[in-house]
Each structure stands twice: as C-alpha cells, then as structure tokens.
Structure 1
Amino acid sequence: MDFSRLQTVSKVSDEWSYPQKDARISGLLPVDRAPDHTLYWEEYGNPDGEPVLFLHGGPGGTCSPVLSRFFDPARYRVILFDQRGCGKSRPTVAGAGPEVALVKNTTDDLVADINRLRQALNITGKMHLFGGSWGSTLALVYAIRHPDAVASLILRGIFLGERDDLLYMYQGNAETWADRPYALTRPGSYVAYPDEWKAFVEIIPPGDRSDMMAAYKAIFDRTTLGEADRAVQRAAAVAWSVWEGTISYTVPPAADPGQNAEADFALSFAQIEAHYFANDLFIEPDYVLKHVDRLAGIAIHIVHGRFDQVTPLAQASALVAALEAAGSPARTFIKTNAGHSALEAETVIALTAVMDGLDRLDG
C-alpha cells in the first residue's frame, strides 16, 4: 500500500506573500528592577510606516523573524518583542529560576511593558496590535485599558482564559485514564490526539490526576532540587510544552517537535504558563467579555482555525457575540480550515489578507 500522498504536515510552506528579511534594528529595553526585567525587541519593515506591535502567545512563548512575514514591509513598521521571562528577554526561568523570573511577571506588568516599549520606540499615535492565542488575550486587555492607543486589533486563535477553557486542554479524561484510558468521560483536546495525550498524562502519578495543572505546577515549584528532581522537572516541562506544540497543528509535526522539545525553552514556557494559569491569568473572571464596550471605535479582525484544539472556536464565537451585543461588531471573522498555529497555511493566508486590507492610519 502506498500512503505517500497523505498529508504529512499542515505548516505553511510557500503560501507567504512577503519574503523573510533581517531585522533593521534590535535592542534591549530595561523595564523593571528587582528583578531587572529587560525586554528584547526587533524592528522590521518601513521605519516611517504604520506601527504594528506583535504579541506572541503562551504566556511564555517567544517571537521569531518568520513572524514578520505577515506584514507588507513597504507599508508597516513591525515590532516583535519577547515578553517578560521569554526568549531573549532577561531573566528567564531556565536561566535564573522561577523564584527570580516569575517575580513581577503578571498581566498588569506586561500591559505596562507595552507602554514602555511604545515610549522607547517613539510610537506616539495609534498602532495596530496583532496577537494570537495568549497574545490575543493580552491585546484585548491592553486595548480595553488603553483604547486611545489602538487603531485595530488583528487577533488569531482567541483565548479568553476561563477555567473551562484550560480544563478542556489540560484536564480532559486524565482522572479516569488509569482505568479507562480511551473513555470519553469529558470534553477535551485529547479526543483528537490520544497518543500525545498519553505522554502528557503519564508524567503525573494516577493519584494526582484530578487536577493536572496543579500537579504539574507542584513539580515546577520544587526548590530543593537534586539531579533526580531536576530531571523530573525537565521531563515535565518538555511534556507540557510538546503537548501544546503538537496539538497546535491539524497534522502534528511529530517527527520534529522543534523548540518545544528543547529543555531551556520548555522550562521557561511551561513554568510561565503554569504560573499564569494558577493565577487565572491575573485578571478577573470574564474580564474581556465584561469590558468589550471599551473596544468601541477599534477595528477588530478575528481569524480562528475551525479545528483549533488549543483554543476551540467557541471562544472566538463568544467574543464575536459579545461585540455584537455591545454594538461594535468585529469587522472580520474568518474561520480557516486549520488548527491553532499561526503558521498553518490557511491561517497565514487569512492573516496576511487582513493586514493587506486594513484601513490606513492617518498621518
């Protein structure tokens, strides 16, 4: 039997409209003391163009140069940056430990950092905010608090961060896994990814599986670490990171999980996520939906994968319904035949088309 014609990846290949370019400039911006949080940023495109600030996912993710390809380099001034504790920003969890890197690392801090970055880069007028997954949450929170600074929100993979949203991805049928591993005892991402779910669940002993996020965080919070404990912590961080990375694609890149399987990235990514999730993202319940009236006058464009198992489509639908009820409907709501990742082909095409079609900023 010949299976060579089956799709083996769903990641973007030649669907990009714009070439990969090197950053024009980059820098480090001190934003806090004790600990000395410093943000790494890069700028692409036209230095006199319309400013676009890219907010990466996670919390705990990072930016990479390929993300600049969503934007026409002749039109836009594109700023990518790594949020606190992430990527090339300092300190990181992997480098300095959670007892340092997670201090002063909250949603309020990240919102304040956006304003610090705007000031440092002399962005005085309105800007476009482009965010996916957790980046969509942060973009919405920022726009709710600072609507006068935002011309448009371009959002992918809407994440509202409610408890049920997290349970769908991280809890699933874990509590009954030991006795009935393939029973559909509650909704969850595991339904579409049973083998990958097995690897995620079995890091945690059966007696601790009633709250998977808490069980993982207990491992991450260990402070008296011998080498055996460090090995357990690394394994847990990689399992957490690979689980999310894998299920972000409709056709998972199983042969090459990329940076998600790298210990340093995983230690920072997983521990920052667990930190934010244990604290309800440091925002009140239903924060975004309760405050959508603050977004009136901002052009909102939403792209969401129909088969997204990290942030299911219902979250985007809830946001769209709330915007309509507030009298300020989304300008665009595109459902792509894709999963969660920004780098799936249809989502790349849709996001690029949205950026190409935005109303131009005055001045």
Structure 2
Amino acid sequence: MDLSELQTASTIGDAWKYPQRAANRSGFLQVDHQPDHTLSWEEYGNPAGEPVMVLHGGPGGACAPVMSRFFDPARYRVILFDQRGCGKSTPTVALAGPEVALVRNTTDHLVDDINALRDALGIAGPMHVFGGSWGSTLALVYAIRHPHNVASLVLRGIFIGARQDLDYMYQGNAATFADAPFELTAPGSYIAYPDAWKAFVEIIPARERSDMMAAYKAIFDAAPTDDEDRARQLHAALAWSVWEGTISNMIPQASDPGKFGDAEFALSFAQIEAHFFANHLFLEPDYILGNVDRIAHLPIHIVHGRFDQVCPLTQASRLVDALAGVGATPARYVITNAGHSAMEHQTALALTAIMDSLAPIR
C-alpha cells in the first residue's frame, strides 16, 4: 500500500455547504465594571433573520469567523461573541493577567452576558442557541435559567463537567506515568494519544502528578517574578492548550497545532479553563442533569462524535438519560464517526443539516 493514500485529516476541509462571508457588523459591549469586561461580537447572515446565539467552547476558546458557516446566511442572523477574558474581548487573561481578567468571570456572569448582548442587539423574542463542548454546558445552563428566550438548543460534544469527565482528559494514568508510562492504570484520553500525553504529563514533576489539574493551576496562579517564571508559565499554558487541541480531532494535526500553539491564545485558554475547572464550573453538583425538567419542552438537538476524547460520548448518554427521566427525548441525537471538534467532517455536516431543518421561529 502506498502510504500517501492514508487519510491525513478528519476535518471538513472544502466540503462546507455555505461559503465564508464577511461579518455584517461588529462591535464591543461593556458588560461589567472593576474590571471593565467588554465583549467582542460579530453579526453574520441576514440582519432580519432568525437569531442564533453561538456559544464557543473552552471556556476561553473564543470564536472564529468559520463558525458562521454552519448557518444559511439567507435565513439566520448569527451572533458570534468572545466570552470574558478571551479572544478579542477585554481584558484578556493573556495581556491583563489572571488577577484582573478572572475577576467576576464565572458561569453566572457569562449567562448574564448573553442577556446583555441580546438586549444590546435588539433580540426580544426566542432565539436558537448553538453551542459545543463548554458551549453546550453554557447553552444548557442558559436554557435552564431562561427557557422563554430559547427556541431550540443545538448542542455538539456534550460537556457535563463532572470530576470524572475532567479526570478522563487531564488525569488518566499520570500518577503512575513515571514508573509505567504505557500501562492502562486508569481510563483516559491518553490511551489514543500517547506522545501528546507524554508532553502534557512531563510538565509536572512526578511527585505532583496525583492531581494534574491542581498542579497546573498552581503554576498558573504563581505570580511570575522574572523571565524564567514567565517562561515556565507560558510553557505550561502551551502544553495544556496543545494537549486539548491535539486530541480534539480524530486525526490530529500534530505538525500544526494552529491557534492552540499560539502563546497569547494558550495563556488565556489554559488559565480560564483551569479557573473554571478548579471551581467546578461555578455550578452546584449535578446542576444540569438535575434541572433538565426545565428544558424538557424545548427542541434539543445533539451531535456527538463517537470517538470524542475531549468529551467522551458517555456525557451525551447521561444527558439523554436524564431527559428520558423527565419524559423527554431529544429532537435529534446524531452520533457521528468523528472526534470532538466542530470542524470534524461528519459533525460539521450534521450540524449544518440540523440548522437547515429547524422549525422556523414564530
């Protein structure tokens, strides 16, 4: 067999249904003081169309124009925005530091920001809420608290965010890695990505690997006093970011980590994630699964990659099971032959098809 014939990517590539278009308009909305959190937002598609609020992942992942391509530009008014502390919103963790940008940066604040953006953009009635990974978490929390503002939920890569979910991705066999790096001593994403896992684990000294998230958070929380401290912090942020970026695709782009290998992105992304994870997503235990009765009447569409190693399929299974417990079923539940990223070929096509087939907002 000619090795050049092997599949080298699992992403959508040039198979998009809708072309990339320029934003109709963009702006900044100040949503808080001390610090003065200001959100960067962009609008795509039909200015008079059905509103779609797009919630990016991470937390801390930020939006990109390509996210507008899931939507028919003749039908939908698509709102992309960067959540607090990341992307083009200000202050960012990368530039202002966590001691500034992580102040008043919680799930409650992000939910309130969605309503502030709705008001500023004149969205008065129900809207479609579209979110993946952490964006699915935020979408579910928003819908639980404000169901009257939601026409439908379109969710990808369900993230419940329980400790077991985080340990699968960040803990794995780290505690035994020094003595047995290839032993399957615990479940985890490392099983399919051993080289990337090695780079992630070895940032942390062996004696501190019993709690990898806490060890990374300690590096992020230490105020740098010199260039060596700053370099160590950046090295850790890049390792955290590249690890997630690598395992997001069924076929990882190891030679090009993309935005995950960018220093400014990584410093914000890693530190915001560590902040939210250390605080249990700023939610009560089982908050989402325990409150699904509040959204049981909504059309809920779920797309999840069977081979997702960031948010394993069991998280979608738990959400579907909880809905069944209150007598509800998803309007659609599509399991694609894909990994985690929204840009995985089958997942991107499935999300586009769902958006094309939604009942109009009346």
Superposition TM-score tier, normalisation by shorter sequence: over 0.9
Query: Contact conserved, 2:172 with 2:189, CA < 8 A, in 1?
Result: yes
Greater Cα shift, 322-331 or 189-198 = 322-331
In structure 2, how many angstroms separate the alpha carbons of the residues matched to 1:225 and 1:311?
A: 36
Question: Tell me, what secondary structure is at the counterpart of 1:291?
Answer: helix
In structure 1, how many angstroms separate the alpha carbons of the residues matched to 2:327 and 2:110?
A: 29
1:77 aligns with 2:68: no
> Cα deviations across residues 262-313 of structure 1 (Å, max 9, x unaligned)?
1110000000000000000000111100000000221100000000000000
Greater Cα shift, 223-232 or 248-257 = 223-232
Give the TM-score of the pair, scaled to structure 1.
0.99
Query: How many Å apart are 1:259 and its aligned residue?
Result: 0.8
Query: How many Å apart are 1:160 and its aligned residue?
Result: 0.2
Equivalent residue number for residue 328 of structure 1: 328
- The number of aligned residues is 362
Question: Tell me, what secondary structure is at the counterpart of 1:4?
Answer: helix
Query: Contact conserved, 1:62 with 1:82, CA < 8 A, in 2?
Result: yes
Aligned counterparts, 1:271-282, within 5 A: 271-282=271-282
Query: Contact conserved, 2:301 with 2:332, CA < 8 A, in 1?
Result: yes
In structure 2, how many angstroms separate the alpha carbons of the residues matched to 1:323 and 1:339?
A: 24
In structure 1, how many angstroms separate the alpha carbons of the residues matched to 2:279 and 2:253?
A: 31
Query: How many Å apart are 1:225 and its aligned residue?
Result: 2.2
Query: How many Å apart are 1:14 and its aligned residue?
Result: 2.0
> Cα deviations across residues 71-112 of structure 1 (Å, max 9, x unaligned)?
000000000000000100000011100000000000000000
Question: Tell me, what secondary structure is at the counterpart of 1:18?
Answer: coil
In structure 2, how many angstroms separate the alpha carbons of the residues matched to 1:199 and 1:63?
A: 27
In structure 2, how many angstroms separate the alpha carbons of the residues matched to 1:110 and 1:285?
A: 18
Question: Tell me, what secondary structure is at the counterpart of 1:229?
Answer: helix
Query: Contact conserved, 2:70 with 2:351, CA < 8 A, in 1?
Result: yes
Opposite residue 328 of structure 2, the aligned amino acid is S
In structure 2, how many angstroms separate the alpha carbons of the residues matched to 1:154 and 1:46?
A: 19
Equivalent residue number for residue 249 of structure 2: 249
Aligned counterparts, 1:82-97, within 5 A: 82-97=82-97
Equivalent residue number for residue 68 of structure 2: 68
Percent identity, please: 70
Aligned counterparts, 1:17-56, within 5 A: 17-56=17-56
In structure 2, how many angstroms separate the alpha carbons of the residues matched to 1:2 and 1:48?
A: 52
Question: Tell me, what secondary structure is at the counterpart of 2:3?
Answer: coil
Q: Which runs of 5+ in 1 are unaligned?
A: none
Aligned counterparts, 1:220-299, within 5 A: 220-299=220-299
Tell me how large the CA RMSD over aligned residues is: 0.6
Question: Tell me, what secondary structure is at the counterpart of 2:131?
Answer: strand
In structure 2, how many angstroms separate the alpha carbons of the residues matched to 1:218 and 1:325?
A: 40
Equivalent residue number for residue 176 of structure 2: 176
Opposite residue 257 of structure 1, the aligned amino acid is P
Query: How many Å apart are 1:224 and its aligned residue?
Result: 4.0
Equivalent residue number for residue 155 of structure 1: 155
Query: Contact conserved, 1:15 with 1:348, CA < 8 A, in 2?
Result: no
Question: Tell me, what secondary structure is at the counterpart of 2:310?
Answer: coil
Query: How many Å apart are 1:7 and its aligned residue?
Result: 0.9
Query: Contact conserved, 1:176 with 1:185, CA < 8 A, in 2?
Result: yes
1:345 aligns with 2:345: yes
Query: How many Å apart are 1:11 and its aligned residue?
Result: 1.3
Opposite residue 87 of structure 1, the aligned amino acid is G
| Runs of 4+ in structure 1 over 2 Å off | none
In structure 2, how many angstroms separate the alpha carbons of the residues matched to 1:290 and 1:15?
A: 39
Query: Contact conserved, 1:193 with 1:247, CA < 8 A, in 2?
Result: yes
In structure 1, how many angstroms separate the alpha carbons of the residues matched to 2:103 and 2:63?
A: 22
In structure 2, how many angstroms separate the alpha carbons of the residues matched to 1:8 and 1:15?
A: 16
Equivalent residue number for residue 205 of structure 1: 205
Equivalent residue number for residue 4 of structure 1: 4
Query: How many Å apart are 1:347 and its aligned residue?
Result: 0.3
Equivalent residue number for residue 132 of structure 1: 132
In structure 2, how many angstroms separate the alpha carbons of the residues matched to 1:188 and 1:252?
A: 17
Query: How many Å apart are 1:321 and its aligned residue?
Result: 1.0
Opposite residue 146 of structure 1, the aligned amino acid is H
Give the TM-score of the pair, scaled to structure 2.
0.99
Opposite residue 147 of structure 1, the aligned amino acid is P
Query: How many Å apart are 1:329 and its aligned residue?
Result: 1.1
In structure 1, how many angstroms separate the alpha carbons of the residues matched to 2:47 and 2:262?
A: 34
Query: How many Å apart are 1:325 and its aligned residue?
Result: 1.4
Query: Contact conserved, 2:224 with 2:230, CA < 8 A, in 1?
Result: no
